[in-house]
Amino acid sequence: MKKFDNLGIKPADILLPKAGTDMHKWAVVACDQFTSQPEYWEEVERIAGDAPSTLRLILPESKLESDGVDQEIEKIHKTMDDYLANDRLRSMDEGEFAALPDCGEGLSRRIYRAVRRGRTLEEVYGLAKTKRYAHARIRRAALWAALGLRAADRPDRPSYLRVLGASGTGRVLLREMKGRAALPVLTKPAHGRGVPLLELEARCTDLYGLCRRTVPPCGLEWTASPVILP
């Protein structure tokens, strides 16, 4: 992956429907002569029904001028998230659910069973939820699973001290810390290559970037230097 850093391209993740998907309902082709005809899309809707379908991932031309176009776009984004997250959950075995943070007391097994029965994330949440297991706790577990996080990724104590910025006084303190600190002091992100917790932090920063108005490139954690003040 590093050899692509200086190029204007990145390797893509090519996503395909899982084995067993009804391709007659999954694949939707919008022919030019039909894209603006509502009756065409009504028939496509009838054929797809509630099965997984790329119909839920596109906005037909016939809806571009509708009053609810913003809501339609929001539904498309939610469906994309559901398909990605639900695919990740369905690919996990019971042991992987047990390795998630805060999934003890039988919760991991309950979520695993709910995933085997639910067709959407909301159905999974509803099947797993009880008085003992709150909805918010189940959603957190699903998010951890989608991100590939495990309980082991949350150490009991930090493995390094990372410097985000320093003033003149701080730089004096840093020089003292080099010989006295109980943990390694990282002043350059590159020095943390191979440190599991920092590698995880870098991955989380890459994902967080997708929530920003202007999405930054990956790898910012490895290039951002500390802020130095007078």
CA pseudo-torsion sign 53, 56, 61, 67? positive
What pLDDT score does 37 carry? 77
Distance CA(153)–CA(200), nearest Å, equals 8
- SS3 track for the chain: CHHHCCCCCCCCCCCCCCCCCCHHHHCCCCCHHHCCCHHHHHHHHHHHCCCCCHHHHCCCHHHCCCCCHHHHHHHHHHHHHHHHHHHHHHCCCHHHHHCCCCCCCCHHHHHHHHHHHCCCHHHHHHHHCCCCCCHHHHHHHHHHHHHCCCHHHCCCCCCCEECCEECHHHHHHHHHHHHHCCCCEECCHHHHCCCHHHHHHHHHHHHHHHHCCCCCCCCHHHHCCCEECC
Q: What confidence score (pLDDT) does residue 13 get?
A: 66
Position 169 scores a pLDDT of: 93
Q: What is the pLDDT of residue 189?
A: 83
Domain spans, the chain: 23-64, 88-152, 161-228
pLDDT confidence of residue 12: 67
Which parts of the chain sit beneath pLDDT 70?
Answer: 1-13, 30-35, 84
